[in-house]
Structure 1
Amino acid sequence: MKMLVAQKTLLLLCVGVSLAQDSNTAEKLKNIEERLRVTEETLEELKKENQVLRTFTKASSDKLKSIQAENKAKKVAFSVGLLASGSQSFGPFDTRKTLLYQKIFTNVGNAYDPNTGTFTAPVNGVYFFRFYVHAHTPNQMAVSLHKNDQLQCSVYSLKPESNANGSNGVVLSLQKGDEVYTQLWENSWVFDDGNSYTSFSGFLLFPV
């Protein structure tokens, strides 16, 4: 009888321990699930923050590139001679001709195009331009500087008794894309050689 009671008591103890273990396991699983949920929420927050940082970084990079491009565009200066080598007279022609300066002394910003003889403003700003012209007697010498299609200033000598030299300069307010160039008048001559008597220069004074 006593043995039977002892066996029953032992069985009850085992059942109690088993129930307690099951309760602890369930609690542990619940805690694990809660920690996983918190971890997932944290990961989602980190993903959102990472996306915000990526957007901010891209915006900052784009802004930096824009500033660098703008600063580069503000560095503008060129000086060119009519002939790269040799000596030659140009003219006369029946119509006005844009002079193509081939000898590049400097072309910071690459705003001057030797293929067209045209300077194209890379930024809005105030620019200074000067040109020099040389011709031999007794040829008429006449050259003008133009902004787009508008004449700005000129040099002129009708029939020089000796070699003719002339220069002129002007400060112009330009919008991005405006073009500046020099033109030889009809029935006129200019001359150049290795001494670069005939030249064209300009630079950005300040952007606006």
Structure 2
Amino acid sequence: MNINAESEKLKNMEERMQKLEETLTKVLSENAALKSTVRDSQNKIESLQKENDFIKNNKSLLFIAKKVAFSAGLLSSGLGHTGPIGTAKTLVYSKVFSNVGSAYDSNTGVFKAPMKGVYYFRFYAHCHIGTKMAVSLLKNGQTQCTVFSWKPVTNGNASNGIVLKLESGDEMSTQLWANTWVYDDANSYTSFSGFLIFPS
């Protein structure tokens, strides 16, 4: 037996085993990194799927959310004044310029919020010389802001606007004060408008 030859063979086998161990360690490390990459990819796919499902399930809501707006003048035709009477009166704006989302009711003068969100409202009122005019914007029957004119020396307009956070079903309207009046004609001096800024 050639001891030197056998020793050389043994040495070569040890070197090959060491290289195999190094290769195996490298493969295991790459496998762990690959598993981590796959896991991250799966998480991203699940997140995108959830987002996609949300959009699909709420497509109608997202569509409606961009389309709530109205604008109306007090008189649909002719000219004249509303009031004065001894009690406060909800103004009914019958000349509808736009009613996207159908949230404004031209029979009652009330806008009913179709969804929770932040809304903007603006109203105008016109008065003549020597008359009293006062109109308030109401949210669920509670005054939010008002325009007022006490016997002006010339005809004039007054306006006010406000941004409000509404819940679904909240009602907005304008109210003429008792013993005051507003004027309107084909020029729609007295008007009421509002729109959804963004849902919340």
| 2:69 corresponds to | 77
1:138 to 130, 137, 154: 130
Please state how far the C-alpha of 1:164 moved relative to its aligned partner. Answer: 2.5
Q: Which residues in structure 2 correspond to 1:155-170 (within 5 Å)?
A: 155-170=147-162
Shift of residue 113 of structure 1? 0.3
Q: CA deviation at 1:67?
A: 2.2
Match of 1:106? 98
Q: Deviations over 1:111-149 (max 9, x none)?
A: 000011000000000000000100111110100000002
2:58 aligned partner: 67
Which piece of structure 1 moves more, 67-76 or 122-131?
67-76
CA shift for structure 1 position 72:
3.6
For residue 174 of structure 1, what is the amino acid of its counterpart?
Answer: L
- Where does structure 1 lack aligned partners over 5 or more consecutive residues? 1-59
Would you say 1:202 and 2:194 are equivalent positions?
Answer: yes
**CA deviation string 1:76-126 (max 9, x = no partner):** 000100011110111001111000001111100000000110000000000
Partner of 1:97: 89
Deviations 1:26-79 (A, max 9, x none): xxxxxxxxxxxxxxxxxxxxxxxxxxxxxxxxxx99x84x52431243110001
> 3-state SS of the aligned residue for 1:69?
helix
RMSD over aligned Cα, in angstroms? 1.8
Structure 2 unmatched ranges of 5 or more: 1-51
TM-score, normalising length from structure 1?
0.68
Give the Å deviation of 1:193.
0.3
Q: What is the distance in 1 between the residues matched to 2:111 and 2:190?
A: 16
Tell me if the contact between 2:127 and 2:149 (Cα under 8 Å) persists in the aligned partners. Answer: no
Any conservation in 2 of the 1:141–1:164 contact (CA below 8 Å)?
no
- Percent identity reads 59
Q: Which residue of 2 aligns with 1:128?
A: 120
One-letter amino acid of the counterpart of residue 60, structure 2: A
For residues 61 and 68 of structure 2, the distance between their equivalents in structure 1, rounded to whole angstroms, comes to 11
Which one-letter code corresponds to 1:204 in the other structure?
A: L
Query: Highest Rg: 1 or 2?
Result: 1
In the alignment, the residues of structure 2 paired with residue 146 and residue 95 of structure 1 have an alpha-carbon distance, to the nearest angstrom, of 16
* 8 A Cα contact 1:82 1:192, kept in partner: yes
Q: Tell me the amino acid that sits aligned with residue 93 of structure 1.
A: I
Equivalent residue in structure 1 for 2:173, among 178, 181, 184: 181
Structure 1 runs (4+) deviating above 2 angstroms are 66-69
How far did 1:161 drift? 1.1
Whole-angstrom distance in 2 between the partners of 1:109 and 1:120: 10
The AA in structure 1 aligned to 2:171 is E
Q: How far apart are the structure 1 equivalents of 2:130 and 2:63?
A: 46
